[in-house]
Amino acid sequence: MYGQINDRSGVTEDVVLKALSTVIEPELHRDLVSLNMIRNLKIEGNDVAFTIMLTTPACPLRGKMESDSRAALAAIPGLGQVTIQWDSNVPSDRRIGEQIGQNFRNTIAVSSGKGGVGKTTVAVNLAISLAMEGARVGLLDADILGPNVPMMMGKGEMPPPSNRKMVPAENYGVRFISMAFLVKPDQPLIWRGPMLHSAIRQLLTDVNWGELDYLVVDLPPGTGDAQLTLAQVLPLSGAIVVTQPMQVAASDAVRGLKTFEKLEVPIIGVIENMSGDFFGTGAGEQLARDYDTDYLGSIPLSADVRKGGDSGQPIVVVHPDSEAALAIRRIARDVAARVSVLTLQVQSENFIPITMIG
């Protein structure tokens, strides 16, 4: 009998938390306990159960955190069964709500210097990939003059307005809004800067977006008005720059990088799209190196990616296990993790100490 009591006293809350305080969150470089990521700790006899609260449901490092936690706990004498559950609470960039009155926790701009490199394709598949991981995702088509998000998202209309606000269309778990919903296809759009500005502002503010973990913004080509307007209207958690594998495309992307730098928007990283035998590979990685930013990975040139875009059935939906879809889904998890880090940095600059979970 006494032996049993001794065994039981070996597995206590203190001992478990002490063990878990040696496990480092790989992105945030601090331990799970001081980050307040261990929740619902329950000890029954020698069995331990707890929830790890992640900073994004799309966390790419669950596997590592689980195996590190199990390894740390294994050192406790007499340990029984360990049950780990997962939950997430995405950190919120409070500047967004303050500035536009919407409940977006993070905003991610998808940009490039040059047209036709696959920004919209990346934005659409990235948004859907994040939603597939369980995040609440919106997609804003900020390409006011050439809006093609609805075509790629497979839905050309939005529902009727409610309470005098527009209601986003929804497909594949993503809410989206586009100028294409508001103008007839044959109506020419010849707009000047101030009108572009107010159009983007309206698509952000006059819409019942609801609560979002991530708003992905698809930008038009170039580094002009739209980028400037967007950065003025909406605090951006970070920007992704899409480039093609050829050096010429990368040199356009440099302008994209510099624009965001000037606007003080953090660069999440560079994606090389349409990589492979035909166009080659490498310019994206080189660009990231030259500009001291991160390389997020490449998406191969693939007929299925193009077909998916043309038919409104994006590759991550119809061929989720294809090479291209797996590449985008991995990049999406990486982007989510990086955005959490960026937003926590913003929080810690404005609110001390870091309180990462609401």
Ligand X SMILES: Nc1ncnc2c1ncn2[C@@H]1O[C@H](COP(=O)(O)OP(=O)(O)OP(=O)(O)O)[C@@H](O)[C@H]1O
Residues forming contacts to Mg ion in the complex (CB under 5 A) are: 119-120
- Could you give the CA distance from residue 180 to residue 182 in angstroms, rounded to a whole number? 5
Contact call for residue 78 and ligand X (CB under 6 A): no
Angle between helices 283-290 and 247-262 (to 10 degrees): 30
The nearer residue to ligand X, 59 or 274, going by C-beta atoms, is 274
Q: Are 332 and 58 in contact (CB under 8 A)?
A: yes
Angle between helices 62-73 and 13-20 (to 10 degrees): 130
Contact call for residue 180 and ligand X (CB under 6 A): no
Residue 92: alpha-carbon gap to chain centroid: 12
How many CB atoms lie under 10 A from the CB of residue 126?
28
> Cβ of residue 326: shortest distance to Mg ion, in angstroms?
23
> Cβ of residue 171: shortest distance to Mg ion, in angstroms?
17
Residues that bind ligand X (rule: CB under 6 A) add up to a total of: 21
Residues whose CB is less than 8 angstroms from the CB of residue 231 and which lie 6 or more positions away in sequence, other chains included: 260, 263, 265
Residue 273: name its binding partner from Mg ion, ligand X, none (Cβ under 5 to 8 Å by kind): ligand X
Residue 108: name its binding partner from ligand X, Mg ion, none (Cβ under 5 to 8 Å by kind): none
The nearer residue to ligand X, 27 or 323, going by C-beta atoms, is 323
Cα 229 to Cα 56, 170, 226, 261, 279: the distances in Å are: 28, 25, 5, 15, 33
The nearer residue to ligand X, 266 or 300, going by C-beta atoms, is 300
The nearer residue to Mg ion, 68 or 141, going by C-beta atoms, is 141
Residue 339: name its binding partner from Mg ion, ligand X, none (Cβ under 5 to 8 Å by kind): none
> Cβ of residue 334: shortest distance to ligand X, in angstroms?
18
Contact call for residue 221 and ligand X (CB under 6 A): yes
Cα 110 to Cα 45, 139, 219, 225, 269: the distances in Å are: 51, 11, 6, 15, 10
The nearer residue to ligand X, 241 or 274, going by C-beta atoms, is 274
What are φ and ψ of residue 108, in 5° steps? -125, 120
Q: Which one, of 96, 95, 102, lies nearest residue 350 by Cα?
A: 95
Residues numbered 5 to 64 that lie near ligand X (CB under 6 A) are: none
Beta bridge partners of 223: none
Contact call for residue 309 and ligand X (CB under 6 A): yes
The nearer residue to ligand X, 93 or 252, going by C-beta atoms, is 252
In the structure encoding, which two tokens stand for residue 134, read together? 């369980």
Residue selected from 10, 116, 156, 194 as contacting ligand X according to rule CB under 6 A: 116
Binding region for ligand X (CB under 6 A) out of 1-9, 34-42, 109-117, 168-176: 109-117
Q: Are 343 and 105 in contact (CB under 8 A)?
A: yes
In the structure encoding, which two tokens stand for residue 238, read together? 């970070």
The nearer residue to ligand X, 115 or 193, going by C-beta atoms, is 115
Interface with ligand X (CB under 6 A): 112, 115-121, 143, 146, 220-221, 273-274, 299, 301-302, 305-306, 309, 324
